[in-house]
Amino acid sequence: MSKLFRRGLDDIGVGTVCVCHDGQGNVLLQKRASSRKIEPGKWDVVGGTLERGLTLVENVKKEIREEYGAKVKKVNFLGYREVIDVHAWRDQHWLAMDFVAEIARGSEKIGEPDKVSEIGWFPKDNLPKPLHFTMKDYIKKNWNKF
């Protein structure tokens, strides 16, 4: 019997992570649905596994469309982080390709209601709590870059 291959668990996964902003000092975050196995009820950003055949920027834009349905004005690459997550439920290793994107405010909506229970705009210096554990590293490394 073959084992199901799990990205990030059975290999090192590559994902795109993106903070969306409105160009006015506000960021759009999403609250993870209570049904999520990892970090339910925590505020997070857009992200997803890099799909074969897509460039990093194409993947970011795809994730923004899927998760927020928002119109993207511009996308900038900020760098990468290694996310090594050793929790009781997982032992995973990811390369997170960090981006920031300006989107058209008012075009956003919850695109994946099974994964996201709420979205909201927040001043960059006054984020909601609790934050997803990976947000702390993103903020530490990237917050002053946009």
The 3-state secondary structure of 34-96, one letter per residue: CCCCCCCCCEECEEEECCCCCCHHHHHHHHHHHHHCCCEEEEEEEEEEEEEEECCCCEEEEEE
- Position 2 scores a pLDDT of 54
C-alpha dihedral, 17 to 25 to 126 to 21, nearest 10°: -30
User: Rounded distance, CA 81 to CA 84, Å?
Assistant: 10
What's the distance, CA 108 to chain centroid? 15
Pick the CATH number of 13-145 from 3.40.630.10, 3.40.50.10420, 1.10.287.990, 3.90.79.10: 3.90.79.10
Q: Kindly state the average pLDDT of the residues 81-97.
A: 79
Whether pLDDT at 93 is above 90: no
- Position 38 scores a pLDDT of 84
Q: Kindly state the average pLDDT of the residues 3-12.
A: 68
Q: Which DSSP category does 109 fall into?
A: -
- Position 1 scores a pLDDT of 44
Instruction: Report the percent of the chain where pLDDT is more than 70.
Output: 90
Q: Which of 2-6, 73-77, 85-89, 142-146 is predicted most confidently?
A: 73-77
Burial (Cβ within 10 Å: 0-12, 13-18, ≥19) of residue 64? buried
| Weakest-pLDDT range from 7-21, 61-75, 116-130 | 7-21
pTM over 0.95: no
User: Rounded distance, CA 20 to CA 121, Å?
Assistant: 10
- Position 21 scores a pLDDT of 97
Whether pLDDT at 7 is above 70: no
Question: How many residues in the chain?
Answer: 146
For CA atoms 32, 37, 39, 44, give the dihedral sign.
Answer: negative
Whether pLDDT at 83 is above 90: no
Instruction: Report the percent of the chain where pLDDT is more than 90.
Output: 77
